[in-house]
Amino acid sequence: MTKEVYQKLGEALNARSVTIPSVPCDEFFAFAEALFTPEQAELACSMPLEPVAADDLAAKIGEADIRKVEKKLEEMADKGLITVQEREGKKYYEFLPFVPGIIELQFMKGEVNEHAKRLTVLLRDYLKAMRAIMKTASPPTPAAAPAVTKTIPVNEEVSDLVTILPYDEVMRLIDSVDYVAAGVCVCRHQGDLLDRPCSKPKKDMCMILGSSAQSAASRGFARLLSKEEARRSIDEAEEAGLVHSFANSSDKYINLLCNCCGCHCLILRNVKRSPVPSKAVFTDWVTMISTEECNGCGACVDRCWMGALKQEGDTVVRDAERCIGCGVCMYVCPADAMKLERRELVKL
């Protein structure tokens, strides 16, 4: 019976996002059980895709004691399994997907304890098992049809893929939202817990934007930043050569802005494995190199996480299919020979 509950939980998670799909296997059940009690898993499965108030959920599951349902929901919110929004004095609860959502909230605090280490190991084991299974099977699909496009808070439509944003667009995005909360980089923190540390900065590198930032901060998963603090964190990420990636799930749940390294970030590592990285993410931009101005120093080559740049004689050349338009290469170009241009406007 317990396994059936967690199998149902996997289906409910896939109905929300398949960025990291829930594939039924022993490793998934072990990870899910470390996050949810059977009772919490059952309640999560009963939650609709839209936010729901405790009284409405109680009526749906046939529970007369609304306070009992609300208490369970609050406990799940404190564990980072659901998010809470308040409208007109009433709380609405929403069951989170794995990513962006549950997994980030488990690690953004930067805790170093046995529970965090155990979760990290269980997640690593599950991801390894999931990749092996999905090599020979069709990936699960959401129960509800996913949106083809979504809108980031600067009112620009983007695809349902993780979106790569260059520096200027990140700054515009931060300026456009009311709240920014931040915690440690989830992937690099997991690296620390697995004794595989990364030298790139971690503090305030995972950011939650908008109303979900308030919810995360109120539960202690992240801290609210001023706009100036958020900009300083982006400057630090830019200097370190980190890729700014934005993810949400069909304009719901959590708007997550990450500053990612290619050595530890789960998503960037998968993008790099793709034969055409530029199609594995949404990117509006591509790096252009002026052969007249390029002095062939090669400083940009090692900085590119996707291997899109290589030295050819006295200049550097770019592979457009591997370029994801992040712009981190431009930061170290002493000749100012690189710029980003709109991909659709460039003949590649």
290 shares a domain with 266: no
**12 and 128 share one domain:** yes
| Residue where one domain finishes, among candidates 253, 270, 287 | 270
User: Do residue 57 and residue 80 come from a single domain?
Assistant: yes
Domain that holds residue 338: 278-345
Residues contacting 302, CB < 8 A, separation 6+? none
Q: How far apart are CA 92 and CA 76, in angstroms?
A: 13
pLDDT in tens, the chain (348 residues): 588 999 999 999 999 888 889 999 999 999 999 999 999 999 999 999 999 999 999 999 999 999 999 999 999 999 999 999 888 999 999 999 998 899 999 999 999 999 999 999 999 999 999 989 988 766 555 544 343 334 434 444 434 578 999 999 999 999 999 999 999 999 999 999 999 999 999 999 999 998 889 989 999 999 999 999 999 999 999 999 999 999 865 446 678 999 999 999 988 998 999 999 999 999 999 999 999 999 999 999 999 999 999 999 889 999 999 999 999 999 999 999 999 999 987 876
Q: Is residue 19 part of a domain?
A: yes
Contacting residues for 173 by C-beta, under 8 A, at least 6 apart: 152, 153, 154, 165, 209, 246, 257
Pair (163, 198) in one structural domain? yes
Residues 6+ apart with CB under 8 A from 284: 325, 342, 343, 344
How many domains would you assign to the chain?
A: 3
Its pTM stands at 0.87
Pairing of strands 243-249, 90-95: unpaired
Residues 264 and 307 in one domain: no
Are the CB atoms for 326 and 167 separated by under 8 Å?
Answer: no
Residues 73 and 178 both lie in one domain: no
Q: What is the largest CA-CA distance in the chain?
A: 76
DSSP class of 102: I
Same domain, 291 and 243: no
Same domain, 164 and 183: yes
309 located within any domain? yes
Among residues 270, 299, 332, the one where a domain terminates is 270
Whichever domain contains 316, its CATH number is 3.30.70.20
Asked whether residue 218 falls in the same domain as residue 113, the answer is: no
For residue 94, the tally of other CB atoms under 10 A from its CB is: 22
